[in-house]
Amino acid sequence: MIPVKTLAGLTGFVTRREGKKFLKLGESVDEKLITPSGLGENTAPSLYIHIPFCRSLCPFCCFNRYLFDEGMARRYFRHLKRELEIYIDKGFKFSDFYFGGGTPTVLMDELTGFIKLLREKFNVKQISLETTPREITPETVAALKNAGINRLSIGVQSFDPVILKSMGRISSTDKETEEILLMAEGQFDTLNVDFVFNFPEQSVKQFEADVAHFKELRIDQATFYPLMASPHKKDAMERKFNRISTSREKEFYDVIIRELYEKGYHASTAWCFSRGERMIDEYIVEDDDYIGIGAGSVSIVGGNFFVNSFALEKYGEYIESGRLPVIGWRRLTEKEHRRYYLLTKLFGMKLDEGDFHRRFQADISRELPLEMLFFRTFGMISGDGQIQVTKKGMYPVSVMMREFFAALNGLREYCIEHQV
Ligand SMILES: C[S@@+](CC[C@H](N)C(=O)[O-])C[C@H]1O[C@@H](n2cnc3c(N)ncnc32)[C@H](O)[C@@H]1O
Ligand code: SF4
């Protein structure tokens, strides 16, 4: 019997190698490739909207974010609207929207104005939005509710003040965080709380306490992110914290399996656990195609991968010259596209063979025979037609996604460092 950790290591290794291929980008983008033509009705893309400003910058964070400055943020929202208009002019239609960051709530008047614009232009089905606990007040909750946010995600990271301090987060007592969460509880279709696990100074016991506390609050959903550090960030973090290692990661993941998955929480993804069916913010799982707008966003349209400029100045220059701010693109090979599909669906815990066939006009067992054989032989997936990730497969799938993000983080880091 091969241990799950070894299987996870293997799948993770292969995924990182695949992910790195995404980084080999062409520069001169043919904007004609970014078109809704050819995307079928059931492959309508979602729209991801990146708001890259935060009131303070957490040292562990791997996203494209800048210290909040009101003037810069207002200018950015103007640019976002113009970028959206370029997509509208191209004929794109969206109904599912995901605001991420950074901290999308840093300028509530701009945010609600943007949501109003979305409602004027599209038939809005659902909106997900993320923010930090320090942004949550009765006024923000009321304004977000009024704006029709369906899913609110709050990045708690941990309830433990010592861990929060070492994460560089504004330290608050667990009681204070609890009060903040209870302010938002029941106000949205879905309330999600984000946690990070396998942080260098975090013990499994401390994490167990976080999971127990989450359960006591009876909140709908929690997303657990394994700490991800790109090579450069890793060096910087290791100078600040202890050594970053994935050797303990499975012990943390086992807590999630034991305390949530085996206790009736539904695995919406390998990282997201919900009571009942809930909205998730993993548009990469739900939709085969998606457009990302804003600095550092990425898009996948019809097998093409596009990357937006990360630098605010450069992003603004593109927009002001009436162009999409795309700085790199890659046409995925058929194999890469199918493997990417497999990864995202397994991350979402299920793959419908019929959907695969409709998407690629081919059978998955013929297209990805080795991959399917490997997952089946080692009991990581089960079922025919409707393929399910098994409990045994969950940790390897989590590692695959972590490795894929780690590869993308390498791209983010390069772009942020070189202000591309
Ligand atoms: C982009 S952040 C936005 C949420 C919000 N700004 C906050 O910090 O509360 C979304 C989530 O990503 C996770 N995250 C950020 N950096 C990470 C890293 N290096 N490794 C793993 N998860 C990370 C955190 O759990 C965070 O809540
Ligand atoms: S974790 Fe959230 S608040 Fe902290 S820097 Fe990243 S996006 Fe900003």
Atom 3 in ligand 2: which residue has the minimum CA distance? 54
pLDDT value, residue 65: 93
Give the predicted TM-score (pTM) of the model. 0.93
Phi, psi values for residue 29, rounded to 5°: -85, 135
Residue 276 burial class via C-beta count within 10 angstroms: exposed 0-12, middle 13-18, buried 19 and up: exposed
Under DSSP, the state recorded for 229 is -
Per-residue pLDDT of the chain (420 residues; tens, 9 = 90+): 788 888 888 888 788 777 777 777 776 777 777 888 766 555 578 999 999 999 999 988 889 999 999 999 999 999 999 999 999 999 999 999 999 999 999 999 999 999 999 999 999 999 999 999 999 999 999 999 999 999 999 999 999 999 998 888 876 778 889 999 999 999 999 999 999 999 988 999 999 999 999 999 999 999 999 998 766 666 666 666 667 788 899 999 999 999 999 999 999 999 999 987 666 666 667 777 899 999 999 999 888 899 999 999 999 999 999 999 999 888 889 999 999 999 999 999 999 999 999 989 999 999 999 999 999 999 999 999 999 999 999 999 999 999 988 888 777 777 777 777
Please give the backbone phi and psi of residue 51, each rounded to the nearest 5 degrees, phi first. -115, 100
Tell me which residue has tokens 């509208």. 88
Non-local (6+) Cβ contacts of 156 within 8 A are 133, 177, 181, 193, 194, 195
Residue 399's closest CA among 293, 250, 205?
250
**Protein residue closest via CA to atom 27 of ligand 1:** 155
Ligand 1: lining residues by beta carbon, under 6 Å: 60-63, 100-101, 103, 130-132, 155, 157, 194, 196, 225, 227-229
Structure tokens at 298: 């990425």
Nearest residue (by CA) to ligand 1, atom 13, is 225
φ, ψ for residue 200, nearest 5 deg: -50, -40
Gap between the Cα atoms of 34 and 49, Å rounded: 17
Query: Which three-class secondary structure state does DSSP give residue 219?
Result: coil
189 in helix, strand or coil? coil
- Residue 282's pLDDT is 62
The verdict on whether omega for the bond into residue 102 sits within 30 degrees of 0, i.e. cis, is yes
- Nearest atom in ligand 1 to the alpha carbon of residue 409 is 19
